[in-house]
């Protein structure tokens, strides 16, 4: 039985080893998490193989002949076996929890020097993500990280529970209304990834995604500089305190669902603003923002777009946003 079990374990383990099961590892945390994953997976494969091996062997070896109507022989306990099958799982489960706790603590360790990492505030809302970079005084619908720099994410939610997950980074954390949760990521590979909401949060849950870009030092500096230019109010931007439609568009996370050439967004979750806005009255645009279910574009479902922009944005911000859309997408004035 043990030989059958071990053989099955070796075969499943060997097959598993040669298949690329997991997404790319794009953070230092990914190595910790995958270590735990494989440790647990191998234990499960071995235990499953042993149990299945014993079951199959017993079913074959002790099967009753067709004419045998007797009850099975009365067996009462086996102290030795019971000690073993209590002790072995106990050791395995304790080992799994200890390894997990150690891996999680290591994955979430930040450097002592606050200059060596960044903090980003992540806000989840039905059904969009927004990222605030306190050091840059900037909010965006996209998560932009510098390669090899640890980042502490402080998460919260405006409405219901969501969960932040970038498969290539592995770390997963709930975003819960009323409290702040945290996680740490140290991206190691430049590239584009997706934040995926992994907590069922409403009808827009499957489309609740946001872009992540991991940039080289030079590209990151360029991105920071570009943000400072925008905030400086170059083209058509208002002065201090006045709402600027382009920033409202970015900060409210509109670009994570809608395409708008002027804002450089190419998302396809909601209608393409470059094609639906032209020809609309200002009032109609405002209604579409504050009461998205009032008039749906063809082919789009109700309750996907958040319905609380009237609370989230001030009147001045809403006006600025409408004015911006009229300006860049060419609506009727």
Interaction site with ligand CUA (CB under 6 A): 124, 127, 162, 197, 199-201, 205, 208
Nearer to ligand CUA, 197 or 326 (CB): 197
Tell me whether strands 209-215 and 191-197 are parallel, antiparallel or unpaired: antiparallel
| Least distance CB 156 / ligand CUA (angstroms) | 13
Give the 3-state secondary structure of the chain: CHHHHHHHHHHHHHHHHHCCCCCCCCEHHHHHHHHHHHHHHHHHHHHHHHHHHHHHHHHHHCCCCCCCCCCCCCCCCCHHHHHHHHHHHHHHHHHHHHHHHHHHHHHCCCCCCHHHCEEEEEEEECCEEEEEEHHHCEEECCEEEECCCCEEEEEEECCCCEEEECCCCCCEEEECECCCEEEEECECCCEEEEEEECCCCCCCHHHCEEEEEEECHHHHHHHHHHHHHHHHCCCCCCCCCCCCHHHHHHHCCHHHCCEEHHHCEECCCCCCHHHHCCCCCHHHHHHHHHCCCCCCCCCCCCCCCCCCHHHHCCHHHHHHHHHHHHHHHCCCC
Nearer to ligand CUA, 128 or 215 (CB): 128
| Least distance CB 19 / ligand CUA (angstroms) | 29
| Least distance CB 254 / ligand CUA (angstroms) | 17
Nearer to ligand CUA, 45 or 201 (CB): 201
Please, are residues 172 and 29 in contact by the beta-carbon 8 Å criterion?
no
| Least distance CB 130 / ligand CUA (angstroms) | 12
| Least distance CB 129 / ligand CUA (angstroms) | 8
- The token duo for 273 is 């603003």
Nearer to ligand CUA, 128 or 318 (CB): 128
| Least distance CB 120 / ligand CUA (angstroms) | 18
| Least distance CB 292 / ligand CUA (angstroms) | 16
Nearer to ligand CUA, 8 or 124 (CB): 124
Nearer to ligand CUA, 210 or 285 (CB): 210
Nearer to ligand CUA, 210 or 263 (CB): 210
């Amino acid at each position: 039985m043990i030989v059958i079990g071990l053989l099955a374990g070796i075969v499943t383990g060997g097959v598993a080893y040669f298949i690329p099961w997991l997404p790319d590892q794009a953070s230092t945390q990914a190595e910790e998490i995958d270590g735990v994953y494989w440790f647990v997976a191998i234990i499960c494969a071995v235990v499953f193989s042993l149990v299945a091996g014993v079951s199959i062997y017993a079913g074959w070896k002790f099967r009753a002949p067709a004419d045998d109507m007797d009850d099975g022989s009365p067996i009462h306990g086996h102290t030795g076996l019971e000690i073993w099958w209590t002790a072995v799982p106990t050791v395995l489960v304790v080992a799994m929890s200890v390894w997990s706790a150690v891996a999680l603590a290591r994955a979430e360790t930040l450097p002592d020097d606050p200059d060596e990492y960044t903090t980003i505030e992540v806000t989840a809302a039905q059904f969009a993500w927004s990222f605030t970079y306190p050091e840059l005084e900037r909010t965006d619908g996209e998560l932009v990280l510098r390669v090899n720099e640890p980042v502490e994410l402080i998460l919260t939610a405006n409405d219901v529970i969501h969960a932040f997950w970038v498969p290539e980074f592995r770390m997963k954390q709930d975003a819960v209304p009323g409290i702040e949760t945290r996680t740490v990521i140290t991206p190691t590979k430049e590239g584009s990834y997706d934040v995926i909401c992994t907590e069922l949060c409403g009808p827009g849950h499957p489309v609740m995604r946001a872009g992540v870009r991991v940039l080289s030092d030079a590209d990151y500096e360029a991105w920071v500089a570009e943000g400072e230019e925008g905030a400086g109010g170059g083209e058509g931007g208002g002065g201090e305190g006045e709402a600027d439609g382009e920033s409202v568009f970015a900060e409210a996370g509109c670009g994570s669902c809608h395409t708008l050439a002027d804002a450089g967004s190419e998302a396809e979750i909601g209608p393409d603003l470059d094609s639906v806005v032209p020809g609309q009255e200002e009032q109609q645009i405002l209604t579409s923002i504050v009461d998205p279910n009032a008039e749906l574009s063809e082919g789009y479902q109700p309750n996907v777009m958040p319905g609380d922009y009237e609370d989230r944005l001030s009147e001045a911000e809403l006006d600025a946003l409408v004015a911006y859309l009229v300006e860049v997408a060419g609506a009727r004035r």
